[in-house]
Structure 1
């Protein structure tokens, strides 16, 4: 349906410079960081872009990337998931113990681990959406329950991953690990979900204003639950990657800080922590920035405590930059677009979306 409304006189848009979006800023920052740290490493006689260092960077990117992709979905919905680190640890244990070193049980182990992750995400979503418990408290509580189970039942490594599945953690095509290719494929699926599906539109709508989304006919509870289920499943994939690398399940993976690191990567990638605006491509850029910094710090032998300080400064500076720019609207999905050019002082034809928009 096309509606014609009067628009006030505005300067010709061709004379106004296009603002750089948050996603573009992230990737420009990544290029700048690569140049700077590459020069610093070269000055110390090293090579940041050697095959070993590149493989390490991409490996770090894939592990954190799986978790951050899922975290992006819940943050876009104005929610949060602090249980992802514990889900990663639990799924590594479940996958390894189910496989039990038998190549014929690989798919059973994968499905069991991901099914468990989906169930945890469902519980998170139900507690948040139906019981109206704050996401911070709900997911932290679920995470502590998982931690208690892991600490009491598993005192060390458990299970055994067959060699055929360990290839997921170690096989590379050139310097690019298979796990990174899988992570990027999952990121592409996330982009399609957020920008090309009705569920993606609903996630942005729920994050933008829950009450307005509900009054518009969106089943907000289902949207929040779906986001949490997908988030936990992504964490489950990261758990399987951990199991493939170690050759066994590891209950102490929750101490890696993947929960807070994933939130930092999402925010660094330009996603608004209050929900409603975000970019999966920006999240991948944020993950890459953290991976590059970690690799550079290791090569330069930076003190671990100072390394955390520098990472904190980078994250705070990025969020402050986004806040000053009021988070560029270009990072969010536009729901209404002019069907024709804007006429100075004339009418504007506005076309309502027929798919993927807010339900009526």
Structure 2
């Protein structure tokens, strides 16, 4: 290959950026035709808030996917982390650090369990993480049937409402997490080993890489990556994706009298369950909710 062709290959724009540009252009065109404005300050801030939550999940899952694995339990880890953190904080600033620490511990334990199931018991990652996710769902469905705890005011003010110019603080946290992930993958031995394991695990093992340890190490921090969107969703519920209003299975409502808004149980976690009702009003109270299946 000649030198000019090498230079042109290096300058080729990755397809993901082309797709991003097309998506933005299409969205702008649709919103403009509808009479709205996509790139004004209010809309941009709202989009950045939503991108922060989903992006932080993606950063944690990037490590898992690069290792050739998969994690389908992440939605339920977000739900569990939200409840653990909110119950520990209980509306007190003094409970902020313990709440974050306990949520990190719980989610890291789930990630460690996923990694051990895949590496030690040789269970397919799709089956293992789906099973763990369903176990967490069962625990949430049976253990929580009403409001549980509330976030610390400091967390609500910082992640929910503070901005640097038009950029929310939560989005700056996403940029920092993305930069840290890039550094780990491109500048550390662990990052190189992880990419090698994901690309060719047999070759990596024959080259002296401890593939099981690398994969478990990737899975353990992958799940804690999901507590940050959980905290973000509780800190800024008004700008979070639509939360479903669900009803508790343990408190059946009479058909003669519909429940009042105060009796509604709001679920702020990304739920893989039966989303059916209108979005809830902003609230800083985490909920113990049980999705009710339509029969």
Report the TM-score, using the length of structure 2 for normalisation: 0.77
| Paired position in structure 2 for 1:187 | 178
Give CA deviations for 1:295-335 in whole Å, capped at 9, x if unaligned. xxxxxxxxxxxxxxxxxxxxxxxxxxxxxxxxxxxxxxxxx
Distance in 2 (alpha carbons) for counterparts of 1:135 and 1:253: 23
- Contact persistence 2:69–2:125 (CA under 8 A): yes
Residue 216 (structure 1) aligned with residue 232 (structure 2)? no
| Paired position in structure 2 for 1:226 | 217
- Contact persistence 2:233–2:268 (CA under 8 A): no
Question: How far off is 1:70 after superposition?
Answer: 1.2
Count of paired positions: 246
Question: How far off is 1:67 after superposition?
Answer: 0.8
Question: How far off is 1:35 after superposition?
Answer: 2.9
- Contact persistence 1:95–1:243 (CA under 8 A): no
Residue 255 (structure 1) aligned with residue 236 (structure 2)? no
- Contact persistence 1:88–1:239 (CA under 8 A): yes
Give CA deviations for 1:164-207 in whole Å, capped at 9, x if unaligned. 11121232223321111101110100000110000000111101
Q: Decide whether aligned partners of structure 1 residues 13 and 116 sit closer, same or farther in structure 2, where only a CA change above 3 A counts.
A: same
Runs of 5+ consecutive residues of structure 1 not aligned to the other structure: 1-10, 258-360
Question: How far off is 1:15 after superposition?
Answer: 4.3
Q: How does 1:74-93 map onto structure 2 within 5 Å? A: 74-93=64-83
Q: Decide whether aligned partners of structure 1 residues 98 and 246 sit closer, same or farther in structure 2, where only a CA change above 3 A counts.
A: farther
| Paired position in structure 2 for 1:43 | 33
Distance in 1 (alpha carbons) for counterparts of 2:139 and 2:92: 25
Distance in 2 (alpha carbons) for counterparts of 1:41 and 1:74: 35
| Paired position in structure 1 for 2:15 | 25
Q: Give the one of 63, 73, 80 matched to 2:63.
A: 73
Aligned partner of residue 255 in structure 1, secondary structure: coil
- Contact persistence 1:158–1:250 (CA under 8 A): no
Structure with more contact order per residue of length (Cα contacts < 8 Å, sep ≥ 6): 1
Q: Give the one of 215, 240, 253 matched to 2:231.
A: 240
| Paired position in structure 1 for 2:194 | 203
| Paired position in structure 1 for 2:144 | 154
Q: Decide whether aligned partners of structure 1 residues 165 and 15 sit closer, same or farther in structure 2, where only a CA change above 3 A counts.
A: closer
- Contact persistence 2:59–2:225 (CA under 8 A): yes
Distance in 2 (alpha carbons) for counterparts of 1:45 and 1:254: 30
Question: How far off is 1:162 after superposition?
Answer: 2.3
Distance in 1 (alpha carbons) for counterparts of 2:55 and 2:180: 13
Question: How far off is 1:101 after superposition?
Answer: 0.9
Q: Give the one of 145, 164, 177 matched to 2:168.
A: 177
| Paired position in structure 2 for 1:59 | 49
Q: Decide whether aligned partners of structure 1 residues 93 and 22 sit closer, same or farther in structure 2, where only a CA change above 3 A counts.
A: farther
Question: How far off is 1:45 after superposition?
Answer: 2.4
- Contact persistence 1:86–1:143 (CA under 8 A): yes
Give CA deviations for 1:207-249 in whole Å, capped at 9, x if unaligned. 11111111111111111001111110101222222222349x9
Question: How far off is 1:22 after superposition?
Answer: 8.5
Q: Decide whether aligned partners of structure 1 residues 100 and 191 sit closer, same or farther in structure 2, where only a CA change above 3 A counts.
A: same
- Contact persistence 1:157–1:251 (CA under 8 A): no
Aligned partner of residue 8 in structure 2, secondary structure: coil
- Contact persistence 1:90–1:150 (CA under 8 A): yes
Question: How far off is 1:256 after superposition?
Answer: 5.7
- Contact persistence 1:93–1:250 (CA under 8 A): no
Q: Decide whether aligned partners of structure 1 residues 250 and 122 sit closer, same or farther in structure 2, where only a CA change above 3 A counts.
A: farther
